[in-house]
Structure 1
Amino acid sequence: MQVNEQPASGKSIVKRIREVQRLVDVACRRVGRNPADVTLIAVSKTFPWEDVQPVYECGIRDFGENYMQDALGKIALASSYEDIRWHFIGHLQRNKVRYWNRGFYLFHGLDSLDLALEMQKKAEREDVVIRALIQVKLGDEATKSGVNPATLPFFLEQLPNYPRLKIEGLMTIPPYGVDPEESRCYYSRLRELRDDCIVRGCVDPQVFSHLSMGMSHAYQVAVEEGATYVRVGTAIFGPLQRRV
């Protein structure tokens, strides 16, 4: 992706984005991948639209949110930007599904059949199709949600019951490790799970192709292991802002 030039006030943003994109390109070259196959999502959660807009103006089109009310506010403020894509990342409470709207591009966090049912109902009411990735829990952290790898085939078998959901792949949030290499086993495992689902014939390989994995401290490793979406926040925006 080409980063647009910005005035002096935006030069630091341009520099950070260029560095992230450079490292994505380097990681792709190491394993023989095409950088065009990796989408950089700027994780803008906790940041106001005033901080997000300059990143858009640098050429980034994909943004990640995980607080519904914050996301809806930004979607409204950015309504005139027709090519912006808003991703909702992570756990979504069932009672928040009613707020889902057409402004969201992709949901990275389908973690239960109960949630699938609520999203199916919402999609039927709105006469839309909701694009989603299944969140898989690969670590043992109690605070993380996701489908157990052992039950993933069963989960996929149930999805025809929710025809308004278009499932496009898998997502994971591994346990945090200071060394990015500590995440590699989780990323490779997610890729293996996706490939196994394809081999089993559980999914359409033309649709079920995406892997959402890798954050600011380990996105290069994720790219090497096959990520098609990397979710980068701190390396672009700086430390998360405290929500008030």
Structure 2
Amino acid sequence: METESIAENLAHIQEQIRDAEKKSGRKPGSVRLCAVSKFHPVQAVVEAVEAGQLLFGENRVQEAFAKFSELQTLTSKPYQLHIIGTLQRNKIKKAVECATCIQSVDRKEVLEDIQKHAFALGKKIDIMFEIHTGEESKAGIASTDELFMYAERCAKNEFPNITPLGLMTMAPLTQDTDAIKHSFETLRTLREKLNTQFPTLAIHELSMGMSADFITAIEEGSTMVRIGTAIFGQRQYGATSA
């Protein structure tokens, strides 16, 4: 895609986000856009950065590491990289090295490994807990008790190199609007419960909503939407070296 196309796509998405904020009675700028650059070349990311987009999401750690290492040599702008895909334990070290935030923390081993590698690297890193909120949402923490156990350990400062920012989910792949809304409502309710029980953690982010459902997500309280194809076009498989 040409630079102008990416810039126009970003402007269109941002306009839709602002409209949804207004209709929901929310403050302008309360929802951030995470541009998902999976399977798109680094030049597409550069074009997005030049258009003012500084927050990106990647699913695959190997691809993200290669792409954003190269991006460092191509721009001096303060971009952020969020890992949003399910993490294999053997990829966690690289994820910690290259990411600003890991949104897909879904089990104890991942949480503990992130702390281990962040400590070894002398780095602080943000995380979100990925929550299973629907029948067709296969990834994520399914038990409220399990989530609260992790939150309690964070509140006790067992993971000093980690800052939990919020919760992430993927709505069920369905045309059932009520099911999608229920997924988002579940995440919002969990955040409220966490903040009541663990106020020192200040869990505020709700990463929910993608191209097909981000308007609904904003209506239900999303603070971050994850959008890829509507910005970059169809994925260019094999376009990266990862």
Query: TM (normalized to structure 2)?
Result: 0.89
CA RMSD, 1 decimal:
2.0
Matched, 1:155 2:150: yes
Contact preservation (8 Å) 2:21, 2:30: no
Amino acid across the alignment from 1:173: M
2:188 maps to which of 187, 191, 194: 191
Matched, 1:122 2:117: yes
- Equivalent residue for 1:94? 89
Structure-2 change in CA distance of 1:239 and 1:180 (3 Å): farther
- Equivalent residue for 1:113? 108
Q: CA shift at 1:229, angstroms? A: 1.0
Amino acid across the alignment from 1:34: K
Structure-2 change in CA distance of 1:9 and 1:119 (3 Å): closer
Q: CA shift at 1:18, angstroms? A: 1.5
Query: Per-residue displacement from partner, 1:77-132 (whole Å, max 9, x unpaired)?
Result: 11143411111103111111121344311111111111111111101111111210
- Equivalent residue for 1:139? 134
Matched, 1:172 2:175: no
> Equivalents in 2 of 1:69, 1:219: separation in Å?
27
SS state at 2:103 partner: strand
Q: CA shift at 1:210, angstroms? A: 0.6
Higher relative contact order (CA 8 A, sep 6+): 2
Sequence identity, in percent?
31
2:200 maps to which of 204, 223, 226: 204
Contact preservation (8 Å) 1:134, 1:147: no
- Equivalent residue for 1:24? 17
Contact preservation (8 Å) 2:137, 2:172: no
Return 184-193 or 143-152, whichever deviates more. Answer: 143-152
Amino acid across the alignment from 1:22: E
- Equivalent residue for 2:64? 71
Q: CA shift at 1:190, angstroms? A: 0.4
Contact preservation (8 Å) 1:181, 1:221: no
- Equivalent residue for 1:3? none
> Equivalents in 2 of 1:142, 1:106: separation in Å?
21
Query: Per-residue displacement from partner, 1:214-237 (whole Å, max 9, x unpaired)?
Result: 101111111111111110011111
> Structure 2: where are the runs of 5+ without partners?
none
Contact preservation (8 Å) 2:137, 2:171: no
> Equivalents in 2 of 1:43, 1:31: separation in Å?
24
Return 185-194 or 135-144, whichever deviates more. Answer: 135-144
Contact preservation (8 Å) 2:89, 2:113: yes
Count residues with an aligned counterpart.
235
